Amino acid sequence: MTPIALQLLSLHCYPSFFTDLVTAKLLFKCLGVFHSFRIGESAMVRGLPIITIARNSSILIGDSAYLVSRSRNTALGVNHPVIIRTLKTGATICIGSHFRGSGIVLCAASGITIGDRVTMGANVVVADTDFHSSDPDIRSSMTDARHAKTAKVTISDDVFVGMNAVILKGVTIGRRATIGAGSVVTKDVPEGTVAAGNPAQIISSSVEN
């Protein structure tokens, strides 16, 4: 038997492939009963993501999304499954076509909009909320979450976000920008630039537009 034939018959590869197909179909079929969840054609998952939708909020995922929740399916591994959550009534998460993400977290209390052909490296976090009040007295109370500051996040077309980066509330990242690995983005990043560091700063122009 040739090496190619051996590779094609590999039991290490194919069971997970078929499991992923079944997982994707079942997950998206179950979520599809909610009018607040939509996913485009040809979406693929590797491992089971965590998706939760608050009442009267929405999650929209474009065509050909690729979501990796298992370490063996990505070079760097992932700290946890993909997590996509709306946290409050009226919140929206809208992801464009050909999105790719491994072990990412998207949490929206207001709104997160991601353009087409965006790639996010392992364990990227995007959150449009502080989750807690900055006032320690409120933070210790039952009303803490209601006082957390929120502001929408926009990530434009063709953006690349490096592994372990964190994108915080109110940020807009322009098209074709690159965010360096491990960066903490607290301010807008202009189109076609590279930003890196904590807090992230513009360090150079990006690839040719």
Buried b (16+ CB within 10 A) or exposed e, 18-42: eebeebbeebbeebeeeebbebbee
Q: Which residues contact 65 (CB under 8 A, 6 or more apart)?
A: 39, 40, 43, 44, 95, 97, 98, 99, 100
Q: Which residues pair with 188 in a beta bridge?
A: none
Q: Which residues pair with 52 in a beta bridge?
A: 85
Phi, psi of 192 (to 5 degrees): 70, 25
98 is catalytic: no
Residue of 35, 80, 98, 132 marked active site: 132
Active site residues: 132
